Structures are given as structure tokens and as C-alpha cells.
Amino acid sequence: MSDGLQHVAAVGTRIDLGGRHYRLAPLSLADLGEIEQHVVSLRADPIAALAGSIERFTSEQQQCLLGEAVRQASKQGRYATPSEVDAFLKTFQGIGFFFWLAVRKHQPEIDAPEKARSLIADLDPAAIAQLQRRLIEASGLGAIGKNSSSPVQPSRCGAPPGPASTSS
């Protein structure tokens, strides 16, 4: 009798990719923290983005844009939102990172996200989709961030879209 307990218990799973067999370990709390830390590290610094182009705006727009950039930087915080993590894990970079976290416990030779990505780089879309399903199955995570909203706010400065001004 199968009741799906292995999904809740996150016992891991196996997958064959490109003729090679991999054992996927469940993600630990530390692994989840590593994903969040990586996602936060990928964020653009709104103040630095503005610095390279602020001269093209009027002084009134500069003040407004700088205030908006500081406000956005202070709101970003040190934590990733569920929607940020979910969006990252749907990218090739994110899938490779997730794969690395899941295989490194049993295949220590895969010692960096870049190595994991190189192993999946030639997979077709169907194989990538299968890998995503198996990673979620192995981790016990299920879908994350489905009802989250983005922390990015549209600009209120009346300036044309630019590095520090994001339109939704």
C-alpha cells in the first residue's frame, strides 16, 4: 500500500540523467538557508544601479530616485521572499543549484553548483521537467511561494524607466 508518506518524510529518490545514476538526498534546513542566501546575493543593489545613470535626471528627479532607491534597498532586507525563491528555482541556474544541493551528499565529486549545471546543460526540456519533479519529490518541499507578491514597487518619481525605476 502506497500512501505517499515518502513525499512528506522527504526520504530522497534516485534519477538517471545522461546514462548516469544519481541519488538525490532530501534538503536540510541548512540547504534551504543556502538557497535563500544565494537568492539574496543575486539581488541588484538599487543604489548602485542608480549611481551609474543618475546624472541624466533633473535634480528633483535625482532626489526622488535616490529616496526611492534607499527605500527599496531598506525593504529588500536579508531574507528572500517565497516568490523570489520559487522564481529562482524555476530558472536553469536555480535548477542546477537545487540539483547540486540534492546530489552533493551522495556524490561529493559534484562539489559546486557550476559542476551540477554542467551535468544537466545538455538535457532536453522533458528531462529538465522530470529532474524538477524528482528534486521536489526528494526534498519534500512541494510548491513554494504560489501566493506571494513581489516586493518590487513601481517608481513614483515620474522618471523614465531606468535601473532604479521598475514598472510592473
Give the highest mean pLDDT range of 10-24, 105-119, 137-151. Answer: 105-119
Nearest to 25 by CA among 108, 106, 115: 106
Q: What angle do CA 126, 131, 133 make, to 5 degrees?
A: 95
Residue 146: is its pLDDT beyond 50? no
- Domain segments of the chain: what residues? 5-43+78-139
With H, G, I as helix, E, B as strand and everything else as coil, classify residue 162.
strand
pTM here is 0.68
Phi, psi (deg, nearest 5) at residue 126: -65, -40
Residue 88 near residue 32 (C-beta atoms within 8 A) = no
Task: Please give the average per-residue pLDDT across 10-30, as a whole number.
Answer: 85
Residue 144: is its pLDDT beyond 90? no
Q: CA–CA separation, 41 vs 86, rounded Å?
A: 15
Tell me which residue has cell 519529490: 137
